[in-house]
Structure formats: C-alpha cells, structure tokens
C-alpha cells in the first residue's frame, strides 16, 4: 500500500489498456506482445492507490483500433478520458465519434525503438485536423528529439504534451542539453509535460530518487501545465516497477500540498475536461 494519500479526484494522466485479447485483439504488426491488462486491472490499481480519474493512452500493441480504450472510458461514469492513435483513414466523422467517446488528443510516437515514427507531413496534417475539436497533440519522443524536433515543436499552436519528462537520462543531470530544451518548451503557454516515467528517467533504479530534480524543475517552470501518471502497465521498462505505490510515494517529494493539488487534480481537469 502507498504511504501517500492523493487528494479527491486525483488523476492518473498516463496509463494503458492491453486487451483482453479475446475481445480486443492486438495489431498484427505490433512491436511487442504484452499480457492482458484490461479495465478491471486498472480499476483494481486505482482502488488500491486512491486514484479516481484516468487518461488512457492508446497502446501501440492495439494500433489504431481504439475499441478497448473506448470501452473502458464508456464504463467509467465520466471518470476516464483517452488519447487515441489514428491514421489518415480517420475522416471527420470518425474523429467526432472519438470525441464523443471521451478522446481528447492524439499521440504521436517518435521514439525510435518502437519503429512507428510518424511522417512529419501526417503529423502536421493531423495537428491541423484536431485543432477544431479542442484536442491536443501528445508527443512521445527520445531525449535527443527535443533538439532534433525543436522546429516542429516551436511551430505548434495547439496545446501539446510531452511524455515522461522527455525521457531524459538522469545520469546526464538537469543541465544536459535535452533537458534545457525541454524547459524552454514547457515555458511556452501551450506546452505541457507529464511527470510520468520516473523509472524511465532514473539511471540508478528504485526508488527512482534521481528523477526527482527533473520533476521539481518542471514543476517550478510550469506549475499549471504539469500532470502525472503511473504509466501502468509499464511496457518495455528501463527499470522494473515492482509496485506502482512506489511511484505514487514520489509525489510528496516533488511538490508541496498545493502543488500536488494542481498536478493531480486541477491541471488534468483543465487539460482533459473533467
């Protein structure tokens, strides 16, 4: 059990659903094959951690078939939202149906090891298409991409969210060029960042305390544009997460009570429309 008790309406702003594959099969060209982790597993986690709201990010193993995520959102009594994966086959009617199903953004995966890096033409077209819906672009990238894709990020006019503290390596310290680039982005009024993935950022492993200086710096730079997530069920982890309670217990080491209220409740309510 966690030592930290989150405030009412606390939100896990980054998690995934895998299957169940008997009902929601994985994509044939998936980069890996995880075990089933359905909405019941997510609900059990939240009951134990004291979390109420959730933002489910479409799992790459399901590709652009968003049905498992939409099913979980539909059963949540308004407590869940989602971030979709789409391609050019999604017309305006399909996007509207996703919006009505609780989707509030599209994820773009630039990380090289997943081998699904989007064409920049598709990226720009999609950003233009989702703007009228009030959606945001969720950007999953490697730390080096914060520099390589700087011009693309600078050109964004809709809200965008950078995953997992930019996947920087804590071994490089907060003064590394990639993290300086992330701080430059997050000071912009339309840039948000997820303080998820302490286990991905950490160079030393559990209890992941070497990720804390990065989280604190991001909170200081943009206290109203940071959100937090578990990243459950933890695909391709850098370090094993034996218990998500350990990630929850990092929170009071990141910010004081008022900062945690914004991080866990107020900010996600604004971004995702709770």
Full pLDDT tens readout for the chain, 274 residues: 789 999 999 999 999 999 999 999 999 999 999 999 999 999 999 999 999 999 999 999 999 999 999 999 999 999 999 999 999 999 999 999 999 999 999 999 999 877 678 899 999 999 999 999 999 999 999 999 999 999 999 999 999 999 999 999 999 999 999 999 999 999 999 999 999 999 999 999 999 999 999 999 999 999 999 999 999 999 888 898 989 999 999 999 999 999 999 999 999 999 999 9
User: What DSSP element (H or E) covers 72?
Assistant: helix 67-74
Q: With respect to residue 6, please indicate whether it lies within any of the assigned structural domains.
A: no
Domain that holds residue 185: 11-272
Q: With respect to residue 212, please indicate whether it lies within any of the assigned structural domains.
A: yes
Q: Is the dihedral of CA 158, 141, 167, 235 positive or negative?
A: positive
Q: What is the Cα–Cα distance from 126 to 120, expressed in whole angstroms? A: 10
Q: With respect to residue 1, please indicate whether it lies within any of the assigned structural domains.
A: no
CATH of the domain at 219: 3.20.20.140
Q: With respect to residue 5, please indicate whether it lies within any of the assigned structural domains.
A: no
How many domains does one find in the chain?
A: 1
Q: With respect to residue 229, please indicate whether it lies within any of the assigned structural domains.
A: yes
Give the predicted TM-score (pTM) of the model.
0.96
Q: What is the Cα–Cα distance from 242 to 51, expressed in whole angstroms? A: 18
* C-alpha torsion 255→261→262→263, nearest 10: 60
Q: With respect to residue 4, please indicate whether it lies within any of the assigned structural domains.
A: no
Q: Residue 209 burial (CB < 10 Å; 0-12/13-18/19+)?
A: middle
Cβ–Cβ under 8 Å, residues 40 and 68? no
Q: With respect to residue 181, please indicate whether it lies within any of the assigned structural domains.
A: yes
Residues tagged active-site: 231
Q: With respect to residue 148, please indicate whether it lies within any of the assigned structural domains.
A: yes
């Amino acid at each position: 059990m966690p030592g930290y008790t989150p405030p009412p309406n606390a939100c896990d702003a980054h998690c995934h659903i895998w299957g169940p594959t008997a009902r929601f099969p994985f994509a044939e060209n998936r980069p890996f094959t995880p075990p089933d982790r359905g909405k019941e597993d997510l609900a059990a986690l939240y009951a134990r951690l004291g979390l109420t709201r959730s933002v489910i990010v479409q799992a790459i193993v399901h590709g652009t078939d968003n049905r498992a995520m939409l099913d979980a959102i539909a059963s949540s009594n308004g407590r869940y939202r989602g971030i979709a994966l789409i391609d050019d086959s999604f017309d305006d009617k399909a996007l509207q149906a996703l919006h009505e199903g609780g989707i509030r953004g599209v994820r773009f995966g630039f990380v090289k090891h997943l081998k699904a890096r989007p064409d920049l033409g598709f990226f720009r077209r999609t950003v233009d298409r989702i703007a009228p819906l009030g959606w945001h672009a969720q950007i999953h990238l490697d730390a080096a991409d914060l520099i390589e894709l700087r011009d693309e990020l600078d050109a964004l006019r809709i809200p965008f969210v950078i995953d997992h503290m930019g996947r920087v390596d804590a071994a490089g310290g907060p003064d590394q060029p990639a993290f300086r680039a992330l701080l430059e982005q997050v000071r912009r009024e339309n840039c948000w960042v997820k303080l998820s993935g302490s286990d991905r950022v950490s160079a030393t492993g559990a209890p992941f305390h070497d990720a804390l200086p990065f989280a604190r710096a991001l909170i200081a730079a943009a206290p109203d544009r940071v959100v937090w997530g578990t990243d459950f069920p933890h695909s391709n982890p850098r370090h094993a997460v034996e218990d998500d309670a350990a990630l929850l217990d990092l929170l009071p080491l990141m910010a004081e009570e008022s900062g945690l209220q914004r991080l866990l409740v107020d900010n996600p309510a604004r971004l995702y429309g709770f």
